[in-house]
Amino acid sequence: MNAATLIAFEFPPINMLLRWQDVVPTVNKVVIISILSSLIGIGIFLAAARKDPKVAPKGARNLAEIIIDFIEKQIIMQTMGPSGLAWTPFLLTIFIFIYLNNMPGVIPLIQMPATARMGIPAFMALMVWVVYNVTGIKHQGPIGYFKSVLFPPGVPKALYILVTPIEIISTFIVRPFSLAVRLFANMLAGHLLLVIFALLSEALFQARDRILIPVGVLPFAVLLFLTGFEVLVAFLQAYIFTTLTAVYINMASHAEH
Amino acid sequence: MLISTIILAAEDMGPNPIAPENKELFWGAGSFLVFLFVMRVFLVPKVRKGMEVRYNAIRGGHESAQAARGAAQRDVAAYEAALAEVRAEATARIDAARQTLDAERQAKVLEANARILAKRAEADGALASARAAARGDVAVAVGSVTASAAALVLGKTADAALVKRAVDNSMSGGRS
């Protein structure tokens, strides 16, 4: 018997896994997920806002308040202090939007995180880059901000030859690039891992040689584990992106950093 | 080899899979900005305001509960102070009553003792009178018997004064 007939595992082209056909012009699955993420986020907070705030919160209001509390206590107070509470709506929106764009990667039948495409992470990172630079200029003035970035206080002057180029690259190039790539790469890697183990499980379960069928349990178990792991990654990436945004804004707001 | 049958078909790579697609970038940006606008302007302030209202109500309830607890503690302290005052007053009254009773008892005892002494003195007087009367009677009787006995023995009447002196001397035990 030809070995090729035992198992047929064919990994599809990468673009077939990531690039989706347009449903209507310019609107594909990734676009729909990003729009739905906004609508779901708005829907949760709209339902929360309509409920009587004086009674004990439950349902959507409870969820909304838990998220606000989480953002304020676990991110803003830890990185920015009380002065950062004015950034709650911005950081809250970033967190929810990224999380809701990550989660479809583990939702059956959807199984595509919108952040596994570079468009949304790139925009988010670019927006954060603009926001923290504008905040720095607003708080310290253009000269003060660029001076504090290019010539960090407390560094011996001789080291500025080395530090200043590093700071320029770090603040203006690496930060937005790492923000975008971290989110995108993590979600893409998770998506590809799920695809690989799903295809491997399917191939083994459908193998012509019946002895291989039980072996399919192994990649299927890994698939289940990775699905659970991706739930954690979806949350973690949203948390990391939001925390770093808070850190960058806080650093831009205060010259002493 | 079994696994050698795995076929990796990577032909037709197409466009760069990691390059951002404009439509995804712009739709994503639009979605986020709309979401941010609605959250920033309407939803988060409203939810936050509701949270503040409830937190303030809870804080107010907590403070009024603390105030009620303080008032209750003050009432308890005042009650205990009043109770102590009443107890002290009751103790003082009891002590005063006890002293009064003691004084009255002492007076009654003294009065009773005096009465007893008076009665005893009276009884002693009566006893002495009765004894003296009986002694007189006995002396008369003894004198009469003695006189009669002496008349029988001597054959003549004895001197009455002499008999009386002898009887008196005999009854007094020779003490005269």
Taking only the tens place, the pLDDT of each residue in A13-60 is 888 888 888 889 999 999 999 999 999 999 999 999 999 888 888 999
The answer to whether position B3 is within a domain reads: no
The answer to whether position B111 is within a domain reads: yes
What is the DSSP secondary structure assignment for residue A56, as one 8-state letter?
P
Mean local confidence (pLDDT), A58-82 = 95
For A10, the 3-state DSSP assignment is: strand
Hey, is the C-beta of A97 within 8 angstroms of any chain B C-beta? yes
The answer to whether position B129 is within a domain reads: yes
- The answer to whether the beta carbons of residues A114 and A182 sit under 8 Å apart is no
Residues of chain B with pLDDT under 70: 1-14, 174-176
- Residue B83: the pLDDT is 96
The answer to whether position B162 is within a domain reads: yes
- The answer to whether the beta carbons of residues A107 and A227 sit under 8 Å apart is no
Closest alpha carbon to A250 in A80, A128, A124, A72: A80
B23 contacts in chain A (CB < 8 Å): 22, 26-28, 31, 119
- Residue A6: the pLDDT is 60
The answer to whether position B20 is within a domain reads: no
Number of structural domains found in chain B: 1
- The answer to whether the beta carbons of residues A104 and A221 sit under 8 Å apart is no
- Our CA dihedral for B142, B145, B149, B152, rounded to 10 degrees, sits at 160
- A49 CA: distance to closest CA in chain B (Å): 5
Interface A–B counts its CB contacts (< 8 A) at 168
- Residue B5: the pLDDT is 40
Whether the predicted model's global pTM rises above the 0.90 cut: no
Give me A140's structure tokens: 């310290």
Mean local confidence (pLDDT), A141-169 = 92
- Residue B153: the pLDDT is 87
| Record: contact A97-B31, CB cut-off 8 A | yes
The answer to whether position B160 is within a domain reads: yes
| Record: contact B23-A31, CB cut-off 8 A | yes
Hey, is the C-beta of A77 within 8 angstroms of any chain B C-beta? no
Tens digits of residue pLDDT in A208-249: 888 888 888 999 999 999 999 999 999 999 999 999 999 999
Mean local confidence (pLDDT), A91-106 = 97
Identify the domain containing residue B103 by its residue range: 26-171
| Record: contact B2-A123, CB cut-off 8 A | no
- Residue A78: the pLDDT is 96
**Which distant-in-sequence residues (6+ apart) come within 8 Å of A38 by Cβ?**
A97, B31, B32, B34, B35
The answer to whether position B17 is within a domain reads: no
B119 by Cβ neighbours in 10 Å (0-12 / 13-18 / 19+) ranks as exposed
- Residue B14: the pLDDT is 67
Cα(B30)–Cα(A80) distance, integer angstroms: 28
The answer to whether position B72 is within a domain reads: yes
Residue A2, pLDDT > 90, answer no
Residue A4, pLDDT > 80, answer no
